[in-house]
Amino acid sequence: MDYFTWCVITAGFGMAFGVVPTSLSQGMALKSALEGVARNPGASGKILTTMLIGLAMIESLAIYVFVVAMILLFANPFTQYVVGAAAH
C-alpha cells in the first residue's frame, strides 16, 4: 500500500479510537447527572450546569481527534518528504 492509503487508514482508526472513549464517558456523565437529579431534584440547576461544562470538555477531545484526522487527510505536513523520498 502507498503512503496516502496509510494516511486514510490511520485517520479512520484515529477517529474510532478517539470517539469511542469520548462517547462512553459522555454516557457515564449523563447517567450520573440523571441519578443526581433523581436523588435531589432541588440541585438540578447546579448539576445541569456542571454536566454541560463537563460534556463540553469531553467533546473537545473528540473535536481535536477530528482535526488531526483532517490534517492527515487533506493538509499532511509530511507529504513533501514522502513524495520527495520516493522520487529519489
Domain count, the chain: 1
In a domain, 26, yes or no: yes
In a domain, 11, yes or no: yes
pLDDT digits (tens, 9 = 90+) for 54-78: 999 999 988 999 998 888 888 877 7
In 3D space, the residue among 16, 53, 13 whose CA is nearest the CA of residue 33 turns out to be 53
- Count of helix runs (H) and strand runs (E) in the chain: 3, 0
Chain centre to alpha carbon of residue 43: 30
Host domain of residue 22: 3-76
In a domain, 82, yes or no: no
In a domain, 66, yes or no: yes
Model confidence at 8, pLDDT cuts 50, 70, 90, reads confident
On the question of pLDDT at 48 being above 80, the answer is: yes
Q: What is the pTM of this model?
A: 0.72
In a domain, 37, yes or no: yes
Q: Taking the CB of residue 3, how many other CB atoms lie within 10 A of it?
A: 14
CATH of the domain at 49: 1.20.20.10
Q: Quick one: DSSP state of residue 76?
A: -
Residue 88 has a pLDDT of 67
In a domain, 85, yes or no: no
Grid coordinates standing for 54?
Answer: 463537563
